[in-house]
Amino acid sequence: GENVEQHPSTLSVQEGDSAVIKCTYSDSASNYFPWYKQELGKRPQLIIDIRSNVGEKKDQRIAVTLNKTAKHFSLHITETQPEDSAVYFCAAGASGGGADGLTFGKGTHLIIQP
Amino acid sequence: DAGITQSPRHKVTETGTPVTLRCHQTENHRYMYWYRQDPGHGLRLIHYSYGVKDTDKGEVSDGYSVSRSKTEDFLLTLESATSSQTSVYFCAITVAEGIEQYFGPGTRLTVT
C-alpha cells in the first residue's frame, strides 16, 4: 500500500517569513495530493490540492509543488501570519480510486512566532 | 461543512462495551469513510463505503465493523471497546465523482 512520509514534525518560523513542509510518497499510482490544515479541536480542512498532471499550483499565499519522478511534494506558505499556526497534513490518493481513501502523513505542527 | 454531522461528539465508555458512532450526510454523496486520529499517527483509514451495503476495510480495520443501510448514514461499531481504541474518529465524504475529501466534526471517544 501507499506510504506517506512528512517532514518536519514541528516547524517554527517568524511571522512574515516563509514555511515549507515536505512529503514523499511510495506508490507511483497515486495521482492526487491534498493538503489539510487542522486547528486545535477542529476538523481537518482542505486548503489546496494538486494532481499529477501539473507541477505547481498556487492560491494566494499558499502553493504546492509536485515532483513525480522523485515522488515528493511540498507545501509553501509565504508571508506567514499568526492564523497560519496549526497542524498541516499531506496526503496521497488515486483519483478513480478515490473510493479507497487517502493515505496521510503524520502531520507538521507549524508555529508562527510573533 | 459538506453537510456532514457526527454523533455523539463525545463519549466515554468502559472496556468491553459495544459502541456505535454515526456519520450522517445530507447531500447524497456516494463515498464515505471512517478515519481515526491519534497523536504521532496522523489520520488512518478504518473502513470506507462506496454505496449502500458496499463497504471495505482500510488500514486499521481490526476491532471495527461498519454498516451502510441508507445513503445518508454510515455507522462505525466497536463490538467490544478496548483502551487502544481511545481516539478521535472522523467521518469523511468525497463530493460527486471527484476525489476531494471533506471531514465531519469528529467524535472524541474515551475507553476507560
pLDDT tens track for B58-95: 989 999 999 999 999 999 999 999 999 999 999 999 87
Are B43 and A104 an interchain contact pair (Cβ–Cβ within 8 Å)? yes
**Cβ of B44 under 8 Å from any chain A Cβ?**
yes
* pLDDT for the residue B95: 76
In the predicted model, what is the mean pLDDT of chain B? 93
Q: Does B105 touch chain A (CB under 8 A)?
A: yes
**Distance separating alpha carbons of residues A107 and A10, to the nearest angstrom:** 8
The dihedrals phi and psi of A98, each to the nearest 5 degrees, come to: -55, -25
Q: Tell me the pairing of strands A62-67 and A72-77.
A: antiparallel
> Residue by residue, what is the 3-state secondary structure of chain B?
CCCEEEECCEEEECCCCCEEEEEEECCCCCCEEEEEEECCCEEEEEEEEEECCEEEECCCCCCEEEEEEECCEEEEEECCCCHHHCEEEEEEEECCCCCCEEECCCEEEEEC
- Whether A105 has a pLDDT exceeding 60, the answer reads yes
A102 touches chain B (CB under 8 A): yes
Query: B96 pLDDT exceeds 80?
Result: no
pLDDT digits (tens, 9 = 90+) for A54-89: 899 999 999 999 999 999 999 999 999 999 999 999
Q: Is A89 on the interface with B (CB under 8 A)?
A: yes
Which of A1, A6, A43 comes nearest B104 by C-beta? A43
